Structure 1
Amino acid sequence: MSDENSLLHPFPHRRSPHAAQAAEQHRTWLRRHPLLYGDIGDSPYAHWEVVDLAALGYPDAGPDELALAADLMGFYFLFDDQFDGPLGRRPAEVARICDRLAGILHGAPPDPDSPAETAFADLWRRSTLGMPARWRARAAYNWEWYFASHPAEAAGRISERPPDREGYLALRRGTAAMETIFDMIERLGRFEVPMAAHHHPVLRQLRQLAADIPSLSNDVRSYPKEAPTGDVNNLVMIVQRERGCSAQEACAVVTAEAQQMLARCTELVAQLPESYRALGLDPADLELAGRYAQGLTAWLAGYLHWESRTGRYRMA
């Protein structure tokens, strides 16, 4: 992705000071759940700066919370990447894998011989520890949505009918796992957003934009790697087909759309105080709702900063 396609974002990024401690704990976790083939130092994974993404995305997280966030980031990437090869073109097999993982959400024991299952069981246990029932129910739904989206993505790779924009968004919002990432704002901060605030239209719009912007930016950055593999769930490819334009022009269109979405985020953030006052939230609930909104913008700023520097999307 060239500099002309970089996003100018209005929210400053911050970084948790506990990255070094979290990195050591994350290495231990990867050894316990060998999702990587070989040692981390011999893998491209070492250049993805996964712990730094966690530190940027959750800048207020303490040491143990940041380690959990880093483990989650590692799981997302390594679980998703297993479908880049032949397995990702076998939807029925992908569905069986994902059904087993979703079962863990509802009490099914993990297969001790499956690193993906033992890793996710550990993450789910740690994530839900001490969290209220309503949060756990929401988090379980969002994880199930994430897992259930992978078979459809696999089917798309072998389909002769690439998705339209609506189909792209429906699937991308599942595979991006952003709702599970946003649930962790509350978990790592040990609070729960008041229900009326969480589902208020203004905050819902902000949350959706904070979820979609990274997907659009990621599509531009990952296009050079995805286009040759036949991975069709990429907005650059869709725009290119819709407009009959070059890949460079399509990247510019997608970037401009993401930039407009960022501008809308600033408008929504400015509307939140009045929206909360209209709800009649008491001071304690106002503080919690404000922390959550700040968590959304912190994640967005941190992700975009990380994405512009990580080796994950750099062509060899």
Structure 2
Amino acid sequence: MSDDSSLQIPFPHRRSSHIPHAAALHRDWLHRHPLLPDADRTGYAHWEIVELAALGYPDAGPDDLALAADLMGFYFLFDDQFDGPLGRRPTEVAPICERLIAVLHGARADQRSPVETAFADLWNRSARGMPARWQARAAYNWEWYLASHPAEAAGRISTRPPDRAGYLALRRGTAAMETIFDMVERLGQFEVPPAVLHHPVLRQLRQLAADIPSLSNDVRSFPLEAPRGDVNNLVLIVQRERRCSAEEACAVVLDEAQIMVERCGELHAQLPEVYRELGLSRVEASIAQRYADGLLTWLAGYQHWESRTGRYHSV
């Protein structure tokens, strides 16, 4: 398969200057919540998780950047526990996820479970100081992410491969992008006015910015996922649709993602007119623009990280 799997991203990426501070705090966090076996620590270092946080949220303060790094680490390490035999046993995956969903709604974490203590810590730090409306939305998005994992496990043992609609329904849950975008507000200490947050233009922009990393990640991770029976990958779906090679399917998926990138730019350019049509105040428009810019900053930063990280490349 070709190594030319990078999208052309017209939006600039930026990097926080607080990486050393956040890296030290992230190491401490991993020690307090041992999600990672000692034998895996060297490999994890090559994933450059703090770098991803610094590229995704370049304007976050030092401690908030550490929170972002801890979140990134949790996503990857939580997902990776399902890569082996456990990921083919949905009846065992479901209780793990249900306990974390209960934590969202006030249950105490089991102190014997690093996954539960890590998640409780992340949720408490994320929600602290945020308005009730944001917390409700963020809790729903976390529940969506967590509750998608049993379905993903069931898909690995199903005789019914997903079609595009089924792929999108599940991938948009397991990708966790809505929770990642909620953190644009949390780390910026603002809340987007509901009228613009749910406006069709901004909703389309958010959905595209969420879907593009999933498509590019499907191409990057295809060589790892296909041998272990993961079916929720668009490369596999395109192969079936077109009866083509894996390399051809990867090219198709990247072409689709590139079109989506260009559409992001078009939608972003429409936002000032949306603000005027909604009658937003200067402050409200500024907040909405910070959020929209944050979506594209994340997209650009993620693509820069994904093309270099040791998680998908030999080191």
TM-score normalised by the shorter chain: which range applies? over 0.9
Following TM superposition, by how much is the alpha carbon of 1:144 offset from its aligned partner in structure 2, in angstroms? 0.2
Matched, 1:175 2:166: no
The within-5 A match list for 1:289-308 is: 289-308=288-307
Residues 3 and 228 of structure 1: is their aligned pair in 2 closer, same or farther, counting only changes over 3 Å?
closer
In structure 2, what is the equivalent of residue 96 of structure 1?
95
For structure 2, the 5+ residue unaligned runs are none
In structure 1, what is the equivalent of residue 31 of structure 2?
31
Following TM superposition, by how much is the alpha carbon of 1:43 offset from its aligned partner in structure 2, in angstroms? 3.2
- 8 Å CA contact 1:71–1:123 kept in 2: the answer is yes
Following TM superposition, by how much is the alpha carbon of 1:5 offset from its aligned partner in structure 2, in angstroms? 2.7
* Inter-partner Cα distance in structure 1 for 2:274 and 2:80: 40
* Inter-partner Cα distance in structure 2 for 1:117 and 1:275: 41
Following TM superposition, by how much is the alpha carbon of 1:2 offset from its aligned partner in structure 2, in angstroms? 3.7
Name whichever of 71-80 and 306-315 sits farther off: 306-315
* Inter-partner Cα distance in structure 2 for 1:165 and 1:32: 40
Deviation sequence 1:90-144 (CA, Å, 0-9, x none): 0011000000000000000001000000000000000000000000000000000
Deviation sequence 1:247-290 (CA, Å, 0-9, x none): 00000000000000000000001101001110000011011001
- 8 Å CA contact 2:11–2:297 kept in 1: the answer is yes
The within-5 A match list for 1:1-316 is: 2-38=2-38, 42-314=41-313
- 8 Å CA contact 1:225–1:315 kept in 2: the answer is no
Deviation sequence 1:10-58 (CA, Å, 0-9, x none): 1000001001110000000000000000166x43111000000000000
* Inter-partner Cα distance in structure 1 for 2:42 and 2:253: 31
* Inter-partner Cα distance in structure 1 for 2:110 and 2:314: 36
Please give the root-mean-square deviation of Cα atoms over the aligned residues, in Å: 1.0
Per the normalisation by structure 2, the TM-score is 0.98
Following TM superposition, by how much is the alpha carbon of 1:313 offset from its aligned partner in structure 2, in angstroms? 1.0
Aligned length: 315
* Inter-partner Cα distance in structure 2 for 1:214 and 1:103: 29
Q: Which amino acid aligns with 1:13?
A: H
* Inter-partner Cα distance in structure 1 for 2:3 and 2:81: 30
- 8 Å CA contact 1:149–1:174 kept in 2: the answer is yes
Q: Which amino acid aligns with 2:38?
A: G
Following TM superposition, by how much is the alpha carbon of 1:3 offset from its aligned partner in structure 2, in angstroms? 4.8
Per the normalisation by structure 1, the TM-score is 0.98
Q: Which amino acid aligns with 2:73?
A: G
Residues 240 and 315 of structure 1: is their aligned pair in 2 closer, same or farther, counting only changes over 3 Å?
farther
Percent of matched pairs sharing the same residue: 76
Deviation sequence 1:195-229 (CA, Å, 0-9, x none): 11100100000000000000000000000000100
Q: Which amino acid aligns with 2:13?
A: H
* Inter-partner Cα distance in structure 1 for 2:109 and 2:33: 12
Residues 71 and 39 of structure 1: is their aligned pair in 2 closer, same or farther, counting only changes over 3 Å?
farther
* Inter-partner Cα distance in structure 2 for 1:2 and 1:57: 27
- 8 Å CA contact 1:91–1:154 kept in 2: the answer is yes
- 8 Å CA contact 2:5–2:220 kept in 1: the answer is no
